[in-house]
Amino acid sequence: MFPGSEIYGGFAGTYDWGPLGTELRRNVVNEWTEVMQSHDNMAFLDSSIFTAAKVWEASGHISGFSDPMVVCNHCHTKFRADHLLDAIGVVADEKMTEKQINAIFDEHRTKLRCPVCGKKDFGKVVAKSLLATSTLGRFEDEDEEVYLRGETAQGIFINYKNVLASGMYSIPFGIAQVGKAFRNEISPRQFLFRKREFEQMEMQYFVSPKEAPEAYEEWRKERMAYYDRLGVKKEKLRWKQHENLVFYAKDAWDIQYEYPFGWNELEGVHYRGDYDLSQHQKFSGVDMTYYDEKTKERYIPNVVETSVGVDRTVLMLLADAYDEDEMNGEARVVLRFKPNIAPVKVAVFPLLKNKPELVKKAREVFTELKKEIRPMVFDDNGNIGKRYRRQDEIGTPYCVTIDFDTLENDTVTVRDRDTGKQERVKIGELATRLKKDILNQ
């Protein structure tokens, strides 16, 4: 990942995915998508980023989606009030109301020092809207202010009737979407953890009010179990219930991960009741009710939401997979990604760069294997030990080396990243063997 607009000094809260990061990100999205596809009542959606202001008025984001901001009266630097409190060990959270956080801030005011100028002179805590805006229009004087979506979920709510009208789904069913979301975070920080432009993988499950509590429990179980599929260490994950509910939630739990900077939210599983559909019905005038043929009842469906960021997942996977150990008497850094997560699946090397017959054979093996396994890399730079280290550092599970024995008996060595063990495998069996290992783990 590179800082956004890096050659111009960077642009806070944005990062650009590099070649390996793009693969990592894609693997994360694919795993999530596959899990959602495994449900037979799941629709997928790709809604717009630019959205009419009415959507955010109805959803409550214009009036209620904000961060608590406080300004130092001396040096005029702006801070997140909850972060300042956090730094002195006082628990406050971003979801508290302006009144609640002001009360806590006032109680501890005498202990709070500006991290920039050192003075103890802060103003009142005010709610700063998180919605990012832009303008659209034919002429400048006709431009209207529009919102970039603050969560992908609203795109799902405003299309719930369209999806139903397709005739392919009936309650209970889910709508899943992966897409960019934008938030004007006051203090984007902790690398990928808090960005201004990030990607969400959200699923809204539309269910009858009666069945909603059970569905909520089922989804909570499923979402925690999902992290096993990504190979995340169990002891680094835990549940945390929200004490202060966001305006749309009836109940909310976070799956937290123990990041290098402490336990923090990875995914939210929220019971949103009929809040969103009722609001859109009120503001748009469109009937959002559903007639349930099974129960002969008409109701506004309730919604169970699962919402996780691609960026936070990638940050977790990097932290979780990072390891330092010793192999053959040498210290090494290794990313122990599960093969389904690793950005590169297999690397192919000729033992020596200056032996044309080895390089030719290695190229042949690489080209053939690449028809079945991707992404792969070919590397003939430096000695073989250095090449192994390079692949260990990016988490490549297997390295295939073509040596002089290959020319004699058509076998290659396959080296396992975690154990360093090497095995001779026939070229004819290579693709099947590797695919089995990569897909079955």
* Residue ranges in contact with ligand GAP by CB under 6 A: 151, 153, 183, 185, 194-195, 198, 200, 202, 265-268, 305, 307-309, 311-312
Closest approach, Cβ 155 to ligand GAP, in A, equals 10
135 near 145, Cβ under 8 Å?
Answer: yes
The full DSSP string for 264-306 is EEEEEEEEEETHHHHHHHHHH-----EEETTTTEEEPPEEEEE
CA distances for 98 relative to 197, 241, 325, 370, angstroms: 25, 21, 48, 56
Closest approach, Cβ 355 to ligand GAP, in A, equals 48
Residue 109 burial (10 A CB sphere; 0-12, 13-18, 19+): exposed
**Nearest to ligand GAP of 31, 151 (CB atom):** 151
Closest approach, Cβ 30 to ligand GAP, in A, equals 18
The CA distance from 333 to 357, in Å, is: 32
Closest approach, Cβ 40 to ligand GAP, in A, equals 24
**Nearest to ligand GAP of 15, 366 (CB atom):** 15
Report the chain's terminal Cα–Cα distance, integer Å.
Answer: 27
**Nearest to ligand GAP of 194, 361 (CB atom):** 194
**Nearest to ligand GAP of 95, 338 (CB atom):** 95
248 near 276, Cβ under 8 Å?
Answer: yes
The residue with its CB nearest to ligand GAP is 309
CA distances for 57 relative to 61, 116, 138, angstroms: 6, 36, 24
Phi and psi based region of residue 310 (left: phi greater than 0; alpha: psi -120 to 50; beta: remaining): alpha
Give the DSSP letter of residue 381: S
CA distances for 288 relative to 123, 169, 291, angstroms: 44, 15, 10
Closest approach, Cβ 365 to ligand GAP, in A, equals 40
Closest approach, Cβ 331 to ligand GAP, in A, equals 33
The CA distance from 293 to 324, in Å, is: 59
Q: How, if at all, do strands 66-71 and 251-259 pair?
A: unpaired
Closest approach, Cβ 201 to ligand GAP, in A, equals 9
**Nearest to ligand GAP of 268, 397 (CB atom):** 268
**Nearest to ligand GAP of 244, 332 (CB atom):** 244
Give the DSSP letter of residue 171: S
Closest approach, Cβ 93 to ligand GAP, in A, equals 11
**Nearest to ligand GAP of 44, 378 (CB atom):** 44
**Nearest to ligand GAP of 121, 197 (CB atom):** 197
